[in-house]
Amino acid sequence: ALEDGLKKADADPSVKAVMICGENGKFSAGADIRGFSSPKTLGVALGPIVSLIESSEKPVVAAIEGVALGGGLEVALGCHYRVAHAKARMGLPEVTIGLLPGAEGTQRLPRLIGVPAALDMITTGKHIPATEALKLGLVDEIVEENTIEAAIRLANKVIGQPLGPRRLSLKPVPKLPNMEAFLQEAQVKVKRQARGFLAPELCFQAVQAATQRPFAEGVRRERELFQVLLSSGQAQALQYAFFAERAVHRWATPGGINLLFIIFDSILLLSLGLGTMGQGIVTSLVKANIPVVALEQNLEYLNKGRKAVMVLLEREAKKMEGGAQKLDFHNPARLQFTVDFNLLHDVDLVIEAVFENMALKKEIFHKLSNICKPGALLCTNTSALDIDEIASATSRPQQVIGTHFFSPAHVMRLLEIIYGRHTSPSAIATAMQLAKDMKKVGVVVGNCFGFVGNRMMFPYVEQAVFLLEEGSRPEAVDQVLEDFGFKIGPFRMSDLAGLDVGWRSRKGQGLTGPSLPAGSSARQRRGQRYSPLPDLLCERGRFGQKTGKGWYQYERAGGRTATPDPWIHGFLSQYRDTHRIETRYIDQEEILERCLFSLINEGFAILAEGIASGPEHLDVIYLNGYGWPKHRGGPMFYASTVGLPRVLAKLQKYSEAHPDVPKLRPSAFLKKLVAVGNAPLKEWMSYLSRQSPKL
C-alpha cells in the first residue's frame, strides 16, 4: 500500500508533498514478528520501499506518534523530514528479537546521528523518547499538539527546496577522529556483554560496514548478516520469548473469569518490613507513582531502611533527569515512613516482607486481618512458605496472595504471583495489575514449596554441589554455565545471595543443625542423597561475599571480585578422602546436562501438577528472574530445541548412575511427551488430562 500510494503521489502533478503517518496515534511497531517464521512474508522486502520513499521527487515528511520501532523507524529514516510528538518513542529493537534492522536502518541511522549513538541504539535495541531523538538529530521537530498538522505545515514549508541533502543514503557517515580505535573498543564491549548471543555482534558488523563501504555495499552486507540471524535458532528463541511474555498476561480461572480492570491511581499501599526486599519494593512503588507507607518494627530498623530507600530513590531520580517524568518522593502524601501500625486502617493493599519465618508471618497476618479495612488485599513476599498456612491466620483468606519479588526488587522484572486455595480471582487480577503498573512481568502460579522459580532452582543447585563432591570445582561448574549464557554460575550466585540464607532454611527443615535427628548419616537424608558441603562452609563462617569467603575468596568482606580459593580445593579433596569418594574428571557436557536437565525435569513435574499454566510461564519466570540467557528462550523452550527424547535419555542415564537422587528420575510427563512422539512445545499441555487445576 505504501508503494502504491507513493507511486500515485509521484505521478499526480497536483500533489506537491507527501506526509506518512500511522493510524490511531501510532506510527508503526515495525514488522509483524510472527511473520518472520512464516515463509509467506519472507519474500516481502521493506528496504526497497524505504529507498523508494527516499528517492521521491516530492518531499516526504514522517509524522511520528506513539511508537516508531524497527521497520517503522526505517520507514521514517527514508522520509526527508521527521516530526514527532513529544510522547513518541523510537528505536531499532530488532536485536532484542535476535535480528538486526534489515531495511537499510544500519546504514541510514549512522549517517544521520553518527556512529556512537547509532551503534548504541542498534546494539541495545533501546527505545528513546522524542526529546532525546531531537537532541540526537533523529527528528527535526517535536510537537505537543497535533503531529499530523505540524507535519503537513512542515511539508508545505519545504516544497521546492532541494531534497539531495535530505537523502540519508547520499550523506557520508560523520567522521570521528579516532574511528578505528572507537570501533575496536565498541566491539570488545559488545562481545563481552553478548555472551554467545549473536545478534549484537552482527548488528555491530553491519554498522561497521557503514563506516567502511559505500551505501549500496553496506546494504548488501546488512542483508547477508540479516539472513544469518534470521535462520539462527537464537532469533526463534527470542521471538518465542517476546510472545511468551505477553501470553502470561492472559490468565483465567477455571470458570474463565478474567478481571484486569483495577486502577491503582488512588491506592495507598503499605510495605511491611524495610530490609533488603522491602527497600527495593518501596523504590519500585514510588517509581510507579503509587502512594506508599513503609512500616518497620522499630525506629532503629526504620531509620536504616529509610536511609537505604532514599539512596536508591536519589539514584533513580538521577537516571530520570531530563526525562518527562519526575520522581515525587519528598512528598509525605506519596511516601511515608512509620512504626505506627494504626496507619494500617487506611491502606488498600499490604505487601509484607518481614523475616522468612512462618510463626512471625502468621502473627503479622492475624494482626493485619484485624486492623486493615475489609477490602484490603494482603500480599506476602515469602520466597517459599505455604500461602494457605499464612492465609489461615486471617479471617479473609480470599484476599491473601503471594507476591514474590526478586532481588534487587527495584531492578528485577519478575513478580511471581502465588494463588492460594482460597485466593479470589479479583485478588489475582489486582496483583497482576500491580505488576503491570510497576512495569514488572507478573506470572500467576500455584502454591507449593518454592513455587515455580525456586522449586526448579533447587535441583540445579543440588546437582552443582554433587558435582563438587564427585571431583569438580566451583569455578569449573560456574564457567560451563556462564559459557552457556548465565550471567553468573550457581556458586557465584550463592556467594552473592549469602550461603546463610539456605542454611537457615535447611535448619528449619531439620536437614542440618540441632534439629537433625541423632545418628543421621552425613550424606543421606530421608533415604536420599544429601550433600553437607554448604552446611560445612557455613559452620566455618563462609557465608559468601558478605564475609569475604564462600565458594570463592574475595578481596575483603563485602568484596565483589571472586577468585578461586586454594582452601576450597584442599577442603574438597579432604572431604572426598573422608567420605571415600573417588575423585573423577567431570567433563563440560556432564556439568551442563546434570544442572540444566534436572531443572527442566522439575519443570515438567510442575506442569503435570498444574502449578503453572504452560511451559511459556516457566520460561518467562526464568528469563526475567533467574538470568536464563534470552537467546536460549527459557528452560522449557531450550528442552524443546535439544529434543525431548535426548533430555529423557540423558536423565535416564544420570538417574541410573545416581539412583539415590530422585530429582534425576525422569518425570512421568516428560516420558509421556516422548512416547507420543516428541510433541512440539505448543501442544504439551494438551497431553495432560487435567489442565491447571490450581489456576
Ligand X SMILES: CCCCCCCC(=O)CC(=O)SCCNC(=O)CCNC(=O)[C@H](O)C(C)(C)COP(=O)(O)OP(=O)(O)OC[C@H]1O[C@@H](n2cnc3c(N)ncnc32)[C@H](O)[C@@H]1OP(=O)(O)O
Tell whether residue 193 is a contact of ligand X (CB under 6 A).
Answer: no
Q: Is 202 in the site for ligand X (CB under 6 A)?
A: no
Distances (CA, A) of 499 to 496, 513, 574: 8, 15, 21
Count of residues of this chain found to bind ligand X when the rule CB under 6 A is applied:
23
User: Is 94 an annotated catalytic residue?
Assistant: yes
Binding mask 348-367 for ligand NAI (x = CB under 6 A): -----xxxx-------x---
Indicate which residue of 94, 104, 296, 352 is catalytic: 94
Asked if 276 interacts with ligand NAI (CB under 6 A), we say: yes
Which range, of 39-47, 332-340, 591-599, 620-628, touches ligand X by CB under 6 A? 39-47
Nearer to ligand X, 202 or 465 (CB): 202
Position 596, amino acid? L
Give the dihedral of Cα atoms 208, 212, 216, 220; nearest 10 deg. -50
- Cα distances (Å, whole numbers) of residue 575 to 28, 351, 579, 581: 62, 43, 6, 8
Residue choice 8, 16, 220, 246 for contact with ligand X (CB under 6 A) = 246
Among positions 567-626, residues that touch ligand X (CB under 6 A) are none
CA atoms of 112 and 139, how far apart (whole Å): 10
Q: Which does 489 bind (CB under 5 to 8 A by kind): ligand NAI, ligand X, none?
A: none
- Residue 437 contact, options ligand X, ligand NAI, none, Cβ 5-8 Å cut-off depending on partner type: none
Question: Catalytic annotation on 74?
Answer: yes
Determine the residue with CB nearest ligand NAI: 275
The single residue among 71, 305, 544, 635 that binds ligand X, judged by CB under 6 A, is 71
Here the cell at position 401 is: 496472595
Smallest CA-to-CA distance from 615 within 665, 689, 679 is with 679
Report the candidate in 114, 71, 111 with the shortest Cα–Cα distance to residue 90.
71
From the list ligand X, ligand NAI, none, pick the one residue 101 interacts with, judged by a Cβ distance below 5 to 8 Å according to partner type: ligand X
Position 407 contacts ligand NAI (CB under 6 A): yes
Interface positions, 368-387, toward ligand NAI (CB under 6 A): 381-383
Kindly tell me the burial class for residue 299, based on how many C-beta atoms sit within 10 Å of its own C-beta (0-12, 13-18, 19 or more).
exposed
Q: Which residue, 31 or 429, has its beta carbon nearer to ligand X?
A: 31
User: In sequence order, what are the beta bridge partners of 71?
Assistant: none
The pattern of x and - marking residues 99 through 138 that bind ligand X according to CB under 6 A reads --xxx-----------------------------------
Taking CB under 6 A as the criterion, the residue among 69, 90, 119, 599 binding ligand X is 69
C-alpha to C-alpha distance for 192 and 208, rounded to whole angstroms: 17
Q: Which residues pair with 60 in a beta bridge?
A: 18
The interface region with ligand X, picked from 27-35, 78-86, 194-202, 505-513 by CB under 6 A, is: 27-35
Residue 54 interacting with ligand NAI (CB under 6 A): no
CA 298 to mean position of chain CA atoms = 35
Distances (CA, A) of 219 to 205, 216, 263, 465: 12, 5, 47, 50
Q: How far apart are CA 294 and CA 271, in angstroms?
A: 5
Task: State the cell numbers at 607.
Answer: 506442569
Burial of 601 (0-12, 13-18, 19+ CB in 10 A): buried
Contacting residue, 272, 285, 376, 435, with ligand NAI by CB under 6 A: 272
Per annotation, catalytic residue among 54, 74, 416, 469: 74
Residue 278 engages ligand NAI in binding (rule: CB under 6 A): yes
Give the pairing of strands 528-529 and 524-525.
antiparallel
Which range in 161-169, 246-254, 296-304, 484-492 contacts ligand NAI by CB under 6 A?
Answer: 296-304
- Asked if the peptide bond before residue 566 counts as cis, ω within 30 degrees of 0, the response is no
Q: Which residues bind ligand X (CB under 6 A)?
A: 29-35, 41, 44, 46, 67, 69-71, 74, 93-94, 97, 101-103, 243, 246
| Residues noted as catalytic | 74, 94
Where do contacts with ligand NAI occur on this chain (CB under 6 A)?
272-278, 295-297, 301, 305, 353-356, 364, 381-383, 404-407, 497
